[in-house]
Amino acid sequence: MWIAGCGGATGPVLLGLLLELLVPGGGAAKTGAGLVTCGSVLKLLNTHHRVRLHSHDIKYGSGSGQQSVTGVESSDDANSYWRIRGGSEGGCPRGSPVRCGQAVRLTHVLTGKNLHTHHFPSPLSNNQEVSAFGEDGEGDDLDLWTVRCSGQHWEREAAVRFQHVGTSVFLSVTGEQYGSPIRGQHEVHGMPSANTYNTWKAMEGIFIKPSVEPSAGHDEL
């Protein structure tokens, strides 16, 4: 059984939230190659199943009972925007490039909850449940994900992985699909090993321009 929340933000609200990010002192770009930076708002595409990371005010009817996280095929759903933030202690100044190996929080723009996982089984595949947790961007230490990528910084054209700091699982999609009330949406869960099901790519969004020019590097994914 699923539990639906009350109310919900719409497109104009999202637009307002995005415009709020574009304050003086930092530029932004909607298109073109470059780096993913702290403070950017974006959609994330699972490169294997071609679905975007998504959440909404609908709670799991099992497991943690927290807000559900899914994958959707639509490219224009406002519930698929996530904001890149640092850990609770900071460390991710607005406009700074996200480093490979850096721990970040992914905050769902329309509900203010953070991408989260914990030791509950996922509803369909019995992998590790992934949820959205917290209020107004504040949750706990289980909201932290390490960006695993090649080179020194997260490049927008490159595939990356997100490995959970607390439990070491990778953010994944293996194709299971839900029925009503979110029919056709894909389960998102955590898997213990790096594989083809857990690579992601930055897609549509508002990208804050880097505040400094980063140096190149050649680390491995």
If residue 148 lies in a helix (H) or strand (E), which one and from where to where?
Answer: strand 145-148
This prediction's pTM? 0.85
Q: Summarize pLDDT for 55-83 with one digit per residue, the tens.
A: 999 999 999 999 999 999 999 999 999 99
Q: Which CATH class is domain 37-206?
A: mainly beta
- Count CB-CB contacts under 10 A for residue 91: 14
Quick one: DSSP state of residue 192? S
Q: Summarize pLDDT for 172-185 with one digit per residue, the tens.
A: 999 999 998 999 99
Whether 33 shows a pLDDT value over 80: the answer reads no
Burial of 211 (0-12, 13-18, 19+ CB in 10 A): middle
Contact 191, 127 (CB under 8 A): yes
Whether 218 shows a pLDDT value over 70: the answer reads no
Burial of 19 (0-12, 13-18, 19+ CB in 10 A): exposed
| CA 88 to chain CA centroid, nearest Å | 16
Whether 7 shows a pLDDT value over 50: the answer reads no
Q: What is the pLDDT of residue 13?
A: 46
Domain ranges of the chain: 37-206
Q: Cα–Cα distances in Å, from 213 out to 35, 67, 95, 106? A: 10, 38, 11, 24
